[in-house]
Structure 1
Amino acid sequence: MSQSRGEKIFVLGITIVLVLLSIFAIIPLLSVLSTSFSSKKAVDLNLVTIWPREFTFDSWNYIIYRPDLWKAFFLTFGSTVIGTALALLITALLAYPLSKSEFRWGPVLMVGVVIAMVFKAPLVPYFLTIRGVGLYNNPLVLILPHILNPFNLIIMRTFFKQFSKELEEAAFIEGCGYFRMLFQFVLPLSKAVLATLALFYGVVIWNQFQTPLLFLQDPDLFPLQIKIRQFITDDSVIMALVPSKLDVNYNERTLRAATVIFAIVPVIAVYPFLQKYFVKGAMVGSVKG
């Protein structure tokens, strides 16, 4: 169907706005990336904009050989992978029965889900509860508080409602139970919503800051975001990384830039592979009811 002149102008205007917003969003990232690859002299003289000046890998060579940073990276990576997988499993196990009209307790549970989504737990009771169940200074605190999100649950429940009842009834006639139906038929056909929620859960767990800040005191248990906070805000930590020798080609600003990019690269690298599922899953999960 051909577009009218007004529709073409509207699409063009929206495209221009989105391109401009994208440029404004990417400029700070390019600035940080350029700083991480620039020389100490160029950064000290404020010569770096969105292109590296006096290109060098010195900051990166120093960062990637720091064992404490890699320890924090793998702790964050492991908690993200395990937490995301566990969160998808728990969300699916709860969303599937809630998507069935014959589930008698479904409406009551959905009221609880909506209340949990709208009203967040106060900080002090939340802290006391987490500490009371033994998660204080425990690496599991990076995973367990994030394994179920009410908003993600609603998206998956809405997505499950689209499945044909005739298909499920035929499977039940052949002796298929609810668990087998979920794992052998429903989930394999739900790649879109699974990829979408995997991205939602994964980004939250990877970027979590408040939870480890509140509940982790052992430096050996600090995830990547807390470690980066030390690099950025604690001058004594970052200055300890910069030798007093004059032959190094990095300083505290280039090291800070390198650690920031080091933390966001994994998320940026994964997103293109999930993008096609992300768009489809988000649309279907939020529109169909």
Structure 2
Amino acid sequence: MLMPFVKVLATSFSGPTPVDAGKVFFWPVQFTLESWRYVLKQEPLWNSFFITILVTAAGTCLCLLVTSLFAYPLSKNEFKLAKLLMIMIVITMIFRYPIIPYFLALRSYGLYNSFWVLIVPYTVSAFNLIIMRTFFKGLPKELEEAAQIEGCGYFQLLFKIVLPSSKAVLATLGIFYAVGIWNQFLHPLLFIEDQVLYPLQLKLREYVVNIDMVSGGLGMALPYNNHTLQAATIIFATLPILLVYPFLQKHFVKGAMLGSVK
């Protein structure tokens, strides 16, 4: 997994001649920052970067909120419709929607060429919903029973007891949602026409496919070429989401319930 990433990273810091000669593998040859200087001066790329940051942050928070509100009642045995709703949710995982009716439906909701089309379709993932429901079912009932004795309602139980005790699953699903929204490509390709609204992955595709847009067709006359610019752009689009993981890693290996029940 790391080898291709390291090779692309080395290419982004290498000169054009050794890259074209196939001499760059896991270490830069003729080290230079020119490719990065060129990429970081691209205003459209920065615009797409900030759009993607905003969409990822807002979308992840909204997804976690809605998924929590959906998963919590499904985890309760006293909720009579839980089994029926779970069957419907599993069916959506087995049978995928046809793309044309899906496109027409979202367009009829006014989401075509809209900022919200980058967020709304990701609001609930059936897979993530099942994970959160299973986690909620495993929480000690004594926690909620003690809070109910003090007069807590279901919303207070969710936001004051359950969610603060569910940091592990929230962090895990937060990464799942964030990576999915950050890397989205099909939705903007289908629904975004205005280039001002292009997210980072769509702008990255522009730079990788339309080579002349990046290099200006000058090729070897510059201290960078198409390959080094493409490599720098790919790293630029990938690195931010990788930097989030270390801050959430501890929640993957620690139990959130340790010491919560005495």
TM-score, normalised on structure 2?
Answer: 0.93
Which letter does structure 1 place at the counterpart of 2:247?
Answer: F
Per the TM alignment, residue 172 of structure 1 is displaced from its structure 2 partner at its CA by 1.1
Residues of 2 paired with 1:97 and 1:280: CA distance? 25
- Letter matched to residue 120 of structure 1: R
Which residue of 1 is the match for residue 149 of structure 2?
A: 173
Q: Is 1:133 the counterpart of 2:96 in the alignment? A: no
Picking from 252, 258, 262, the partner of 1:278 is 252
- 1:101 counterpart (65, 77, 81): 77
CA distance in structure 2 between the aligned counterparts of 1:274 and 1:53, rounded to whole angstroms: 35
Q: CA RMSD in A?
A: 1.6
Choose 165-174 or 193-202, whichever is displaced more.
165-174
1:256 aligns with 2:259: no
Which ranges of 4 or more aligned residues in structure 1 deviate by more than 4 Å?
242-245
Give the alignment of 1:1-20 within 5 angstroms: none
Matches within 5 A, 1:233-252: 233-240=209-216, 243=218, 246=221, 248-252=222-226
What is the alpha-carbon distance in structure 1 between the residues aligned to residue 215 and residue 38 of structure 2?
13
**Identity within the alignment, %:** 54
**C-alpha separation between the residues in 1 aligned to 2:252 and 2:109?**
35
1:30-179 matched pairs, under 5 angstroms: 30-179=6-155
Q: Which runs of 5+ in 2 are unaligned?
A: 258-262
Residue 195 of structure 1 corresponds to: 171
Distance between the aligned counterparts of 2:245 and 2:143, measured in 1?
33
Structure 2 Cα separation of the partners of residues 276 and 244 of structure 1: 46
Distance 2:155 2:218 in 1: 59
Distance 1:76 1:274 in 2: 20
* Aligned residue number for residue 159 of structure 2: 183
Q: How many residues align?
A: 256
SS of equivalent residue, structure 1 residue 101: coil
- Distance of aligned partners of 1:164 and 1:244 in 2 relative to their CA distance in 1, 3 Å threshold: closer
After TM superposition, give the deviation of residue 254 of structure 1 in Å: 0.5
What's the offset of the Cα at 1:167?
A: 2.2
* d(CA) in 2 for partners of 1:250, 1:280: 45
How far did 1:244 drift?
6.9
Q: Is the 8 A contact 2:219 2:226 kept in 1?
A: no
Q: Structure 1 94/244 Cα, relative in aligned 2: closer, same or farther at 3 Å?
A: closer
Work out which of the residue numbers 207, 210, 216 in structure 2 matches 1:231.
207
2:239 pairs with 265, 275, 288, which one? 265
CA distance in 1, matches of 2:72, 2:16: 56
Quote the Cα distance in structure 2 between the aligned partners of 1:31 and 1:220.
31
For residue 280 of structure 1, report the CA deviation from its aligned partner.
Answer: 5.4
Match for 2:191 among 209, 215, 221? Answer: 215
